[in-house]
């Protein structure tokens, strides 16, 4: 198996953080997977395209960077069924499907990252999420050293969450995903910006509209290093929404169930006066307040300091804790804390 020592990850994370791992492994086959070192006692991190990861320290843990490629397409009377290797690029997959006349994923175009990362956080945009089309995930179990096919139910998808972040966390590796794209297709146009498209719109037109909307708001990581939305949109009770509506006109929200509404984190950050705010080479994006940008080759700690500031200001103003969506990785591995102040770092 291909592996390297003392490997710089600067070109492997979209914040462009300069960090070095002691070892990196690039498994590309089942044999490679069984040849991985025993990681049960050493911190490690599974890295896809690095577009949703913030490396905090100058050193990174051991990295596993899977290299499973390939797309196979089969079809039956009602659907196209695709088996896609985890290391394929998500955006390229979407454009391939639309160009080949297999609609469904068009609202998810331009989401950065690898196919294998898509189920982990159940990627979503413009009213569609991966769970709508993912039939199963093939996963390598570190413990048994076997492949397991997890059906949709076993994946436990919810908003930016799945079993891969919960019970299966760090217990194995996603190898491929199976997508089920029904031939009877109807565009999903309920999101603002798509709702004015005509009913007979094609999937290519939807895709082009989403591309234009994303490009207008979301910065290109190669130009302005970032990891997309830094925080999740918070789920709150209807009474919290009502309070806000008493103070502000046009509070954006998405009804989830009678018990919960989703607020727009970007709106909360903007109302807290932080849109365009900058400190120590990092800042809140001028066009989308949910995106943090590494403007001047700042360190991971400087990005984290800004994220803590944003979280604290929103908490103070709205009594709502924004939970990070980006994965935060120290030399000791990924650190999962909702309140960033609890993310104690060794000096
Ligand atoms: N808004 C503001 N200020 C801003 C930006 C937005 O007030 O600076 C308001 C908008 O007016 C709108 C609302 O916030 O009413 C929602 O904004 P937007 O449509 O841009 O979507 P979002 O909720 O901020 C989510 C996803 C994005 C995805 C978009 C489009 C999360 C955490 N983020 O953002 O996903 O592209 O919807 O569907 O759910 C990502 O995960 O990295 C990502 C970019």
Structure confidence by residue, pLDDT tens digits, 225-251? 999 999 999 999 999 999 999 999 999
- In this structure, the residues whose C-beta lies within 6 A of any atom of ligand 1 are 125-126, 217-218, 228-229, 232-233, 252, 264, 266-267, 270, 275, 288-290, 325
User: Alpha-carbon distance 74 to 81, whole Å?
Assistant: 5
Q: Rounded to whole angstroms, how far apart are CA atoms 50 and 53?
A: 5
pLDDT value of residue 307: 97
CB of 9 closer than 8 Å to CB of 63: yes
Query: Alpha-carbon distance 291 to 285, whole Å?
Result: 6
Nearest CA to ligand 1 atom 22: 264
Instruction: Return the pLDDT at 345.
Output: 53
Ligand 1 centroid to Cα of residue 104, in Å, is 21
Residues in contact with 17: Cβ distance below 8 Å, sequence separation at least 6, in sequence order = 9, 10, 54, 55, 294, 299, 300, 303
| 246-287 per-position pLDDT tens digit | 999 999 999 887 789 999 999 999 999 999 999 999 999 999
User: Strand, coil or helix: what is 214?
Assistant: helix
- Pocket test residue of 94, 255, 267 for ligand 1, highest count of atoms within 8 A of CB: 267
Residue with the smallest CA separation from ligand 1 atom 28 is 125
CA distance 86 to 117: 7
Atom 23 of ligand 1, nearest CA residue: 264
Active site residues: 160, 229, 325
Task: Say what the pLDDT of residue 342 is.
Answer: 76
Task: Give dist(CA 221, CA 14) in Å, integer.
Answer: 6
Q: What is the pLDDT of residue 344?
A: 58
Distance (angstroms) between ligand 1 centre and the Cα of 290 equals 7
- For a substitution probing ligand 1, which of 193, 224, 229, 272 has the most ligand atoms within 8 Å of its CB? 229
Produce one character per residue of 178-217: b if its CB has 16 or more CB atoms within 10 Å, e if not. bbbbeeeeebebeeeebeeeeeeebbebbbebbeebbeee
State the pairing for strand pair 134-141/146-151: antiparallel
Q: How far is the CA of 281 from the centre of ligand 1 (A)?
A: 23
Write the DSSP string, 108-164. Answer: GTT--SBTTHHHHTT-EETTEEGGGTEEEEEEEETTTTEEEEEEHHHHT-BTTB-GG
Q: What angle, rounded to 10 degrees, do the helices at 90-99 and 203-217 form?
A: 150
DSSP 231: B
Residue 199's SS3 state is coil
Measured in degrees and rounded to the nearest 5, phi and psi for residue 124 equal -155, 150
Structural tokens at position 17: 């953080």
CA-closest residue to ligand 1 atom 29: 125
Task: Sort residue 101 into left (φ over 0), alpha (ψ -120 to 50) or beta.
Answer: left
Residue with tokens 């989401």: 111
Half-sphere exposure of 163 toward its Cβ, with a 13 Å CA cutoff? 18
Q: Which residue among 125, 190, 250, 285 is best mutated to probe the pocket of ligand 1, counting the most ligand atoms within 8 A of its Cβ? A: 125
How confident is the model at residue 339, as a pLDDT? 74
> Ligand 1: distance of its center to the CA of 247 in Å?
21
Spell out the per-residue pLDDT of the chain, length 347, in tens. Answer: 999 999 999 999 999 999 999 999 999 999 999 999 999 899 999 999 999 999 999 999 999 999 999 999 999 999 999 999 999 999 999 999 999 999 999 999 999 999 999 999 999 999 999 999 999 999 999 999 999 999 999 999 999 999 999 999 999 999 999 999 999 999 999 999 999 999 899 999 999 999 999 999 999 999 999 999 999 999 999 999 999 999 999 999 998 877 899 999 999 999 999 999 999 999 999 999 999 999 999 999 999 999 999 999 999 999 999 999 999 999 999 987 777 777 655 43
What is residue 347's predicted lDDT score, i.e. its pLDDT?
A: 36
- Ligand 1 centroid to Cα of residue 312, in Å, is 20
């Amino acid at each position: 198996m291909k592996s390297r020592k003392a490997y710089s990850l600067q070109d492997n994370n979209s914040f462009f953080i300069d960090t070095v791992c002691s070892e990196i492994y690039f498994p590309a086959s089942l044999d490679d997977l069984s040849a991985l070192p025993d990681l049960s006692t050493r911190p490690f991190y599974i890295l896809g395209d690095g577009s949703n990861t913030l490396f905090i320290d100058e050193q990174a843990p051991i990295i596993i960077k899977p290299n499973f490629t390939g797309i196979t397409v089969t079809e039956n009377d009602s659907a196209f069924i695709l088996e896609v290797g985890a290391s394929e690029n998500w955006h390229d997959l979407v454009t391939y499907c639309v160009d080949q006349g297999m609609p469904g994923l068009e609202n998810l175009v331009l989401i950065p990252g690898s196919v294998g990362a898509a189920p982990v956080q159940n990627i979503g945009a413009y009213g569609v999420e991966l769970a709508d089309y993912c039939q199963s995930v093939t996963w390598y179990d570190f413990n048994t050293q076997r492949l397991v096919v997890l059906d949709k139910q076993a994946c436990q998808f919810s908003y930016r969450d799945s079993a891969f972040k919960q019970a299966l966390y760090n217990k194995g590796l996603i190898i491929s995903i199976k997508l089920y794209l029904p031939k009877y297709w109807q565009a999903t146009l309920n999101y603002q910006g798509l709702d004015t498209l005509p009913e007979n719109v094609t999937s290519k037109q939807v895709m082009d509209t989403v591309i234009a909307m994303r490009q207008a708001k979301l910065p290109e990581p190669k130009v302005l290093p970032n990891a997309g939305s830094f925080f999740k949109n918070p789920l709150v009770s209807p009474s919290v929404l009502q309070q806000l509506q008493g103070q502000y006109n046009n509070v954006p929200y998405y009804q989830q169930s009678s018990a919960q509404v989703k607020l727009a984190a970007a709106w909360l950050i903007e109302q807290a006066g932080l849109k365009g705010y900058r400190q120590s080479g990092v800042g809140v994006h001028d066009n989308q307040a949910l995106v943090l940008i590494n403007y001047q080759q700042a360190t991971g700690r400087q990005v984290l300091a800004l994220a803590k500031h944003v979280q604290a200001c929103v908490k103070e103003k709205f009594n709502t804790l924004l939970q990070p969506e980006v994965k935060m990785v120290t030399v000791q591995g990924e650190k999962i804390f909702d309140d960033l102040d609890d993310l104690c770092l060794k000096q």
